[in-house]
């Protein structure tokens, strides 16, 4: 488990496959041909299909719910800035860092980033979450 303190970080890495993109499209109904149609995408600025931005952003949610703050975390807010395209086959690492923990409530502010296999930032933003009640990683001197 990752300690819940300002400066703590956690990350998770996943290679995004064509099957992931198709499953995301089916689940959300976002069947934009930019993501699914090779011929259509070939004639765009990207030259090939790109991964849905929200699929990439979902990797941040995985870190929040699995590791930092961890199981039971509730999203309150997330800002996103999409910096580079992600293509099927790219390996993305979502990284979160604790920026602030409120003293009066278990509300945590985190820097959020996603990097591709070349270390290039593809997404960045900031999240605010409600940390799980009774989180065993919190220190006795924390609120």
Write down the pTM of the prediction: 0.89
Q: What pLDDT shows up at residue 28?
A: 98
Task: Give just the sign of the alpha carbon dihedral 113, 58, 120, 40.
Answer: negative
Helix, coil or strand: residue 8 = coil
Q: What pLDDT shows up at residue 141?
A: 43
Q: What pLDDT shows up at residue 143?
A: 41
pLDDT tens series, the chain, 143 aa: 578 999 999 999 999 999 999 999 999 999 999 999 999 999 999 999 999 999 999 999 999 999 999 999 999 999 999 999 999 999 999 999 999 999 999 999 999 999 999 999 999 999 999 999 765 444 434 44
Q: What is the pLDDT of residues 14-52, one digit of tens each?
A: 999 999 999 999 999 999 999 999 999 999 999 999 999
| DSSP code of residue 25 | H
DSSP string covering 50-70: ---HHHHHHHHHHHHHHTSS-
């Amino acid at each position: 488990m990752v300690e819940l303190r300002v400066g703590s970080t956690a990350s998770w890495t996943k290679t995004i496959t064509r099957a992931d993109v198709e499953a995301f499209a089916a689940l959300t109904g976002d069947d934009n041909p930019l993501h699914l149609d090779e011929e259509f995408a070939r004639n765009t600025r990207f030259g090939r299909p790109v991964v849905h931005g929200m699929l990439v952003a979902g990797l941040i949610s995985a870190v929040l719910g699995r590791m930092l703050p961890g199981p039971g975390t509730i999203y309150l807010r997330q800002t996103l800035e999409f910096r580079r395209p992600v293509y099927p086959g790219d390996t993305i690492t979502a990284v979160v860092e604790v920026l602030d923990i409120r003293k009066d409530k278990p509300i945590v502010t985190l820097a959020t980033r996603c990097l591709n296999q070349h270390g290039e930032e593809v997404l960045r933003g900031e999240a605010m979450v409600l940390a799980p009640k009774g989180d065993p990683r919190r220190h006795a001197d924390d609120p």
